[in-house]
Structure 1
Amino acid sequence: MRDPVLPAPDYKWSSARAQPWTRRPNLQPCTNEETMGERIERVRWDLVNITDFHKVRCSPQRYSRLQEFLESELQALDKVQFDKYDQESKTDYILLRNFLRLKSRQLVQDAEKDQKVVPYLGVHLVIQLVRVIEARQRVDDMDGKRTAEMLVKVLEHIAMTKRQIVDGNEPEEATTALRATKILRELQSHLQEWYAFYKDYDPLFTWWVSEPYLKLDKALGDLSDTIKRAALGIEPDDEDTIIGEPVGRTGLLDALESEMIPYTPEELIEIGKKEYAWCEKEMHKAATKLGLESWRAALEKVKNDYVEPGLQPILVRDLTREAAEYVKKHDLVTVPKVCEETITTFMMSPARQKVNPFFLGGDEIIVSYPTSSMPHQDKLMSMRGNNKHFARATVFHEMIPGHHLQMHYMKRVRPYRQMFFTPFCIEGWAFYWEVLLYASDSWKKTPENRIGMLFWRMHRCARIVFSLKYHLGEMTAQECVDLLVDWVGHERATAEGEVRRSIMEAEYGPLYQAGYMLGGLQIWALRKEGVERMGEKKFHDLFLRANQMPVELFRALIEDEKIGKDFESSWRFYEELEDRSGAED
């Protein structure tokens, strides 16, 4: 049995060599002959198994095991006979290599952040709790008495940490304090599962541990609440204040390298500003056609053109059918019958609307509209933010030919590539259709429709600017909200929801918001040559059937460009763009 009350080791981890707590099995990557698709599937499921078993994210043991796995897979990948692969397999090789490299870098960055957090909470507190959770995963022998003694000591450390934070003896930057609350919440959740595993099934455990565990569970919650009040200046139940963890310039550069975007964050911000200036000019033209002097006045007119309560699902249904019929009529892309006939619709909860103020799409449509229980002003902001013209511009982005169609293909054609999910591909594809339909004469548009489409296009420009500047530390969350209100004309509630989703939702990486417009512009830059060479429908079908990958790699794939083992990003796509505007004279 491992003694749970031994002094906690130093909490240190480095990219050079992790310091494990136990001897690790010498696991090697599979040496049997694998196709690249099979290798990717194995790596995906190996990672799932490792992270599910080593589930405490701040654990040195977890960092060590993941580092070992990623290093071994990169080394094995380097030994494959790359030149014997066909173009698709070479593409898969580059995708897997970049994925493993990014995961390795992110592992180092996460460990460095945790090395700040753990001393803030108390090394003994964190390490001892991590130990008992990991011992339960291995089903080590349980000594109830010693475990109870350890919990009592941890309670003493919690009380000491709490006093230091309340007295201001442990000042810390907001990002570290925020990460500390997440670690406490995670530990609390894992300990609840740990306690339930032994409780009553092990009578001695229950006799010794029940009383100190119940105190510990409450103390962990109290410590998290104390950090929120003292270090973050918010109440524990505050769901409105927007607090995130900027990744910094290094984190952005790592992500850009993985996404094959050969631009600096600063260059991308300038692209966002340039695209915004074009949108403003188009907005002025549309406003003039409505007899209004400013585009902001025209936007107000459009916002107030919304449907009455109860009719929003009907509006979205009809717009969905319109978009699908359009792409089929003009033979722009293959729409499988099953994809079109199995669209389901749901309503978004008021709580979820705080994060997603507009309706969402993909496998299904989730319609955003105010409920009777929402405050009057929130109702009006939601109705204005989900007006007829904004909705028309959103439907083809979310459903067919956008996300719903793409997700249909993703699950059926080379599904293993879903592991390489990238916003430049999936959000870029949906935004590309916004650009294409704005430029198309056959997609009929009133001035109000154009304003609805341009609103979202301006929104994508602002996303590039505010998200990158936030992660560079050049804008606060509140300044991001203000930018969306000032630049785009968002309702403040919807702007807060957009920023909250951008920087607080764990699944969104630092480039997610920038990926919409930049990925769409990449596809648009590739479109001219691709359509001239193979036709519009084939070009679109090939993109869908490629599944997920950086757009530059798709470019190399369809143009049969030589893909070397050391393939790196070099495509300065923005400089190649010709007129993409659909601008009216």
Structure 2
Amino acid sequence: MNHPLLAAFALATLTEISAAQTALNEVPPAGGDLQTLIERVGEDTASLARWHSIRWSDARWNDMEALANKQMAKLQSVNFDSLSQQGKIDYLLLRNKLREQLAQAGRHRARIAEMKDLLPFRDSVIALELGRWKMEQPDARASAATLAGFAADIKKVRERIENGRHQEKKDNQPADANATTNLPTSAGADAPATQAASSAPDAPIVLTAVQAQRAAEAVSDFRRALANWYEYHAPYTPEFPWWCKKPFEEARAALDEYARYLRQDVAGLKGAPDDPLVGNPIGRDWVIEDLKLEFVAYTPEQLITIAEREFAWCEARMKEASRDMGLADDWKAALEKVKNITAPAGEQTSMMAELTREGIDFVKQHDLVTIPEIADKYWRLEMISPENQRFWPFAFYGGQTIGVAAPADSMTHDAKLQSMRGNNRHFSRIVAPHELTPGHHLQGFMAARVRPYRRDFTTPFFVEGWCLYWEMKLWDMDYAQSPEDRVGMLFWRMHRCARIIISLKYHLGEMTPQQMIDFLVDRVGHERDNATSEVRRYIGPDYGPLYQAAYMLGGLAIRSLHEEAVTKGGMKERDFNDALLTYGSIPVELVRAGVLNKPLTRDSEPAWNFAGEITATK
């Protein structure tokens, strides 16, 4: 029976659906806001990535590339000139995000091609999982036959790798996990081990530790994907485990052993404290590409020159502080003295709480930035476990908490002393405002409340640069109360310079992890355990290739913007700092375009030389 109310409801529903479909397809109107488009692009990309959960699948990256190209076409149809200045900034942010996604698709395809011969089971696992994703009923007998071949295929690849290892020993080739002769020099060029993808079927495969680790990660990913596939079907399809249980268990065991072999025997990573440090150097071409995406106009060589210049400034100030401590120009002796001014065992948290409040009070007294009540009141300290101190040997911010590195009862005597020395009072005094307020805590608080849709554009050049800008500002405002405080502040400033030098040289193939550690110990004055922890983190998978360089470089960029806007432009100090917190953590050159109302076009590229004209030196 027809009912007028039901008919009206159906008509209204169809109208709403039609309007929603139109909204999904249309671009923002002239002069409109790009927030909706940005959020939609982010959600669409995330949806695709969740569905394509195997990152070593060609189909994943083909689909990601196709989606990014479609999204780029939609963005390019926007009338750029009609946008507000913030809208133009959003346009360029989204443009570069899509460029980054396209670049990542190409890079991952290069990695997949490199590992083709190392993963003989790859296509089979992807096909099995793809059938599950498409909700197809599996052929249990055929699936069992596929699984039964995994162990033999893996055995053949292992024989080729072993032949390559024997050949390498016979030829006396360098065995260093990150030997510079085996580092990439251009995008995707990962040196000798690319034999694995291009040589004859039975030819030896020569792997660097870098490539062995990467392959081990891929094998573990495929092992998890295979387990997901099996566990989806086995409990609910009686015929399935009858055919597949034993072949699956054998295939899973073969994958586990293969991943262990690659990680431990080839890469040398056994989970021990003295494991070799193995990372993922990307090469100069990819470094330059990443710098452009971050709106940094300098070459990596120019950035290293900037770091060396800043390092020389720090060394000169260190000698001044050393003389004020009665130690002549022996700044390493001054550093050694400062390292021994530590909190008593068990009192590190009390000291950090005191130093954190001291930094907040200084900012308030000088009216430097607005601190909302909730941000000011609700934060606390947490301890960094001894295991995590292998990667984070110093205090860090973790979302309303500061992680405190302190000696624990399970540590060796030497490790306890190094933890205390590395987190001494004068080092920690500048770490506290860096991590909490006015640093990461205040920054994160504001980013979550003002233009939060820009979170997908977060860059370490602002995230970390903001905190380095404050370290520099506090230095200029005589925050240091003694020569020992100055030594502590300068230690970290030298550390940021060193991060630029060693991380970029690592990715350029000019420095090994051991050389990075030695640089931090010899040139900066780190404890060796702490230096090792730092380098392990720098080259690990949790941070992008430019992250370590971004601290000092971002700080220099914000300080240069401050010079233009406040010192020369007459903007008030507090207004400037408050304004920067409304942009989100985006490239500093685009923040500058907003603060100074610099002209922008849809084709704008990085052009700002925030550290002046630089001639790179070797």
Question: Structure 1 length normalisation: TM-score?
Answer: 0.91
Q: How does 1:370-449 map to 2 (within 5 A)?
A: 370-441=407-478, 443-449=479-485
Which residue number corresponds to residue 145 of structure 1? 141
Q: How does 1:68-147 map to 2 (within 5 A)?
A: 68-122=66-120, 125-147=121-143
**CA separation in 2, counterparts of 1:192 and 1:485?**
45
**CA separation in 1, counterparts of 2:86 and 2:269?**
51
**CA separation in 2, counterparts of 1:272 and 1:528?**
20
**8 Å contact 1:29–1:72 — kept in the other structure?**
no
1:28–1:357: structure 2 CA closer, same or farther, 3 Å change rule? farther
Q: How does 1:98-497 map to 2 (within 5 A)?
A: 98-122=96-120, 125-168=121-164, 169-235=204-270, 240-293=275-328, 294-363=330-399, 364-441=401-478, 443-497=479-533
Q: CA deviation digits over 1:417-448, x for unaligned, max 9?
A: 1111101101000000110001113x242111
Q: Letter of the 1:390 partner, please give it.
A: F
145-154 or 172-181: bigger deviation: 172-181
Which residue number corresponds to residue 513 of structure 1? 548
**8 Å contact 1:29–1:76 — kept in the other structure?**
no
Q: SS of the residue aligned with 1:534? A: coil
Question: Quick one: which of 541, 555, 562 aligns to 1:527?
Answer: 562
**CA separation in 1, counterparts of 2:100 and 2:286?**
10
Q: CA RMSD in A?
A: 1.8
1:390–1:221: structure 2 CA closer, same or farther, 3 Å change rule? same
**8 Å contact 2:339–2:422 — kept in the other structure?**
yes
**CA separation in 2, counterparts of 1:29 and 1:281?**
60
**8 Å contact 2:368–2:573 — kept in the other structure?**
yes
**8 Å contact 1:165–1:230 — kept in the other structure?**
no
Q: CA deviation digits over 1:317-342, x for unaligned, max 9?
A: 11111111111121100100001111
**8 Å contact 2:287–2:300 — kept in the other structure?**
yes
Q: Letter of the 1:135 partner, please give it.
A: G
Q: What is the deviation of 1:239?
A: 7.3
Q: What is the deviation of 1:384?
A: 0.5
Q: How does 1:494-573 map to 2 (within 5 A)?
A: 494-504=530-540, 506-532=541-567, 533-573=570-610
**8 Å contact 2:457–2:586 — kept in the other structure?**
yes
Q: What is the deviation of 1:197?
A: 1.8
Which residue number corresponds to residue 42 of structure 2? 44
Q: What is the deviation of 1:362?
A: 4.5
Q: Letter of the 1:375 partner, please give it.
A: T
Which residue number corresponds to residue 581 of structure 1? none
Q: What is the deviation of 1:259?
A: 0.9
**8 Å contact 2:459–2:585 — kept in the other structure?**
yes
Q: SS of the residue aligned with 2:25? A: coil
**CA separation in 2, counterparts of 1:541 and 1:233?**
49
Q: CA deviation digits over 1:522-552, x for unaligned, max 9?
A: 0101112222422000100110111121101
**8 Å contact 1:397–1:433 — kept in the other structure?**
yes
1:136–1:237: structure 2 CA closer, same or farther, 3 Å change rule? farther
Which residue number corresponds to residue 24 of structure 1? none
**8 Å contact 1:355–1:500 — kept in the other structure?**
yes
Q: CA deviation digits over 1:284-333, x for unaligned, max 9?
A: 11111111131100101111111122211111111111111111121100
Q: Letter of the 1:500 partner, please give it.
A: R
| Stretches (4+) displaced over 4 A | 236-239
**8 Å contact 1:144–1:204 — kept in the other structure?**
yes
Q: What is the deviation of 1:230?
A: 4.3
Q: What is the deviation of 1:219?
A: 1.0
Which residue number corresponds to residue 17 of structure 1? none
Q: SS of the residue aligned with 1:366? A: strand
Q: What is the deviation of 1:238?
A: 6.9
Which residue number corresponds to residue 172 of structure 2? none
Q: Letter of the 2:138 partner, please give it.
A: M
**CA separation in 1, counterparts of 2:484 and 2:273?**
38
Which residue number corresponds to residue 59 of structure 2? 61
Q: What is the deviation of 1:136?
A: 2.0
**8 Å contact 1:246–1:473 — kept in the other structure?**
yes
**8 Å contact 1:302–1:451 — kept in the other structure?**
yes
Q: What is the deviation of 1:142?
A: 1.6
**CA separation in 2, counterparts of 1:48 and 1:190?**
19
**CA separation in 2, counterparts of 1:144 and 1:236?**
38
**CA separation in 1, counterparts of 2:279 and 2:152?**
30
Q: What is the deviation of 1:175?
A: 2.7
**8 Å contact 1:165–1:227 — kept in the other structure?**
no
1:288–1:430: structure 2 CA closer, same or farther, 3 Å change rule? same
Q: SS of the residue aligned with 1:350? A: coil
**8 Å contact 2:418–2:530 — kept in the other structure?**
yes
Q: Letter of the 1:31 partner, please give it.
A: N
Q: SS of the residue aligned with 2:598? A: coil
1:296–1:239: structure 2 CA closer, same or farther, 3 Å change rule? closer
Q: SS of the residue aligned with 1:454? A: helix
**8 Å contact 1:117–1:177 — kept in the other structure?**
no
**8 Å contact 1:385–1:491 — kept in the other structure?**
yes
Q: What is the deviation of 1:389?
A: 0.8
Gaps of 5+ in 1: 1-26, 578-585
Q: What is the deviation of 1:184?
A: 0.7
Q: SS of the residue aligned with 1:80? A: coil
1:238–1:219: structure 2 CA closer, same or farther, 3 Å change rule? farther
1:239–1:196: structure 2 CA closer, same or farther, 3 Å change rule? farther
Percent identical pairs in the alignment equals: 40
1:138–1:308: structure 2 CA closer, same or farther, 3 Å change rule? farther
Q: What is the deviation of 1:102?
A: 1.7
